[in-house]
Structure 1
C-alpha cells in the first residue's frame, strides 16, 4: 500500500508543475498585453471552396397498373357539338352599284264624308215674361221747342218749316244722339231742333221681355211757324 501511494505522488507532481507553468504564461501574456496596449491579432486562414460529391438520387418507382373501373352509360342523350363555321378569308363580292327602286304607288286621299252633318238646333229662347216697351217721353214733348226759341233774325228772313228727327235714348232715359230724318229746308232750323230736343227731352227707357231697361229710339217732329 505504501508503495502504491508514493508512486501516485510522484506522477501528480509533474502535472501540477505543468498547470502552474501554463497559468504563469497566460499571466505574463496578459501583463505584457496590458502594458503595451496591443494584442496579437489572430489571423484567420482564408476559406477555400470545393466541390462535394453527392450520392446519385434513387431511381423512380416503377409504375403500378391501376385497375380499370367501368363507367355505367349515362341516361342523357349525347349531343354532338355543331361543326365550326367555315369563315372564308375571301368574302364574296357584293355589287354596290346604285339600285333604282320603283316609285311608291300614290296614296289615296281620304274622300270627304258625304253624310250631311246637321247643326244642333239653337236653344229655345226663353218665353218673355214682360211685353217689350219702347222709350216714352217722361216730360211734356211740347216744352222741348217753344215759340220763344224763334230768333228775331229768323223771323225777318221768314224761316219756317217742319223738322223730323230721330233720337237715340239710352238705358238711363237720357238722349244720347239726334239725327234729322226730314229737313225743313233751312239748316239753322234743323240744327236748332236737335240741339233743343237733346237738351230738354227726358224719357222712360225702353224695356225688353225680361223687364230690364235697354237702349231704344224715339221719332218726332217740330213745326217752326212764324209768330203772328
Structure 2
C-alpha cells in the first residue's frame, strides 16, 4: 500500500503523461482501507503471590558463664522426738483357784434337847408394859440357832404379831433363858442346829 502512494507521487512529480496517470488512476481500484482493530490489551498478569517473609531466627546468644558461689548449706534443725511408748496390753489376771470343796455337812445323829420347861422361857410377866396398857395381843413367830454349847444365837422374827415390841420381847427372853443339850453328829461331836417357836401374847386373866 505504501508502494502505490510512492509511485503516484513520483508520476506527478516527473510529469508523466496524463493518460498514463489516468490509466493508472483507473487501474487503481479504490477501496476503503479499514484499520485493523488493535488486539485487546492483554490484562497484566496478576502480581506474584507475596512470598512469606522468612522470619530470621533470633541470634544465638550464648548463656552467661555459670558463676559458682560457695553458699553455706542451711542449718539442719533437729527436733528431739520422744520415742513412742510401746502399747502394753495388760494380761488378764489368772483366774483365782477354785475354793476347796466344802466338807460335807455333818449328818445329824441326835437333835438338840431343851433343858427345863420351855413354857418358862416367855411368860405373861414378860408382856411389854406399853402393849399391856394398850391391850395389844398377837402371835410372834421366831426362829434361832443353837450353838455347840447349847446356847441360843441369832434369834429372828419369822412372822410378826403386828407389834414390834411384842416380837422383840419374844426373841429377847428366849435368847436369855433357853438352854439346850447340843445336837450330835454320827461321830458324837456337837454340831450347830436351829429351832423355832410361836409365842402367843394374850392379856392376862384378872
Where on the TM-score scale, by shorter chain, does this alignment land: which range? Answer: 0.3 to 0.5
Q: What TM-score do the two structures reach when normalised by structure 1?
A: 0.41
